[in-house]
Amino acid sequence: MSSPAPILRRAFAEFLGTGLLVTVVVGSGIAASRLSTDVGLQLLENSIATAFGLAVLILMFGPVSGAHFNPVVSLADWFLGRRQRVGLTLPAVGVYVVAQVLGAIGGAVLANLMFDVPTTFSTHDRATPATLLAEVVATAGLVLLIIALARTGRGAAAAPAVGAYIGAAYWFTSSTSFANPAVTVGRLFSDTFAGIAAGSVLPFIGAQLVGMALAIALAVLLFPHVTDAAEEIVIPQLDDKLLDDKETR
């Protein structure tokens, strides 16, 4: 079995990747609201930037950390691999989640600074029965997609596939598909187009956890031996020695 990069290196990749993802989401949302007056056009601009940005970030950081950028993805990775002791360990999940949340907050602050917007809590209430159902659907679809790609040996397609899914889910869900507890927390720190009010954060995270559980149940039903895929989520990490060798060339 390959030896992954040291946990601190992987955590730093998760910090940067999640932070830059939130910078893309919040920054493109601010830009869209300034450049366009039509809400539909603003959402289109925001969704396109997010889809492309997420795909690029997965390609950039995937070889180091797997490019989870999302606590529910990290939890699913641990849950699927725990019996065979593959994928993330539970302590590593804790490190990943802390890095993801801190990165998400930092990413929102960075976007605010770039657009000269004060960093304040959002007042955009989003939690309704409809949007919470949408978060269950959006998260379940995202996690199931990632597991399916890993289990069927198509991890190389994760970057465009995950980017495309999130871009589409902006439109087919009423919540605009947060599908990520860390991103949800990060977007609390920007009272802009992409923000979410404090009162909506915990309900959204609860719905996302339900979506994750649903995705795992569906994956177990649909893909035999799905637990073998834990090491391949989202993108297989390069062996630590191989990674170092490639960096020195």
CA 219 – CA 39 distance, rounded (Å): 36
Q: Return the DSSP state at 6.
A: P
**Cis peptide preceding 137, ω within 30 of 0:** no
Q: What angle do CA 50, 51, 53 make, to 5 degrees?
A: 60
The mean predicted confidence, pLDDT, of the chain is 92
Task: Please give the Cα distance from 108 to 188 (Å, whole number).
Answer: 8
Q: In the CATH scheme, what is the homologous superfamily, with its name and number, of domain 7-229?
A: Glycerol uptake facilitator protein. (1.20.1080.10)
Please report, for the chain, the start and end positions of each structural domain, with discontinuous segments joined by +. Answer: 7-229
Say what the pTM is: 0.92
Runs of H (alpha helix) within 71-157: 71-81, 90-114, 129-151
Positions of the chain with pLDDT under 70: 1-4, 227-231, 238-249
For residue range 148-185, list pLDDT tens digits in order: 998 888 888 999 999 999 999 999 999 999 999 999 99
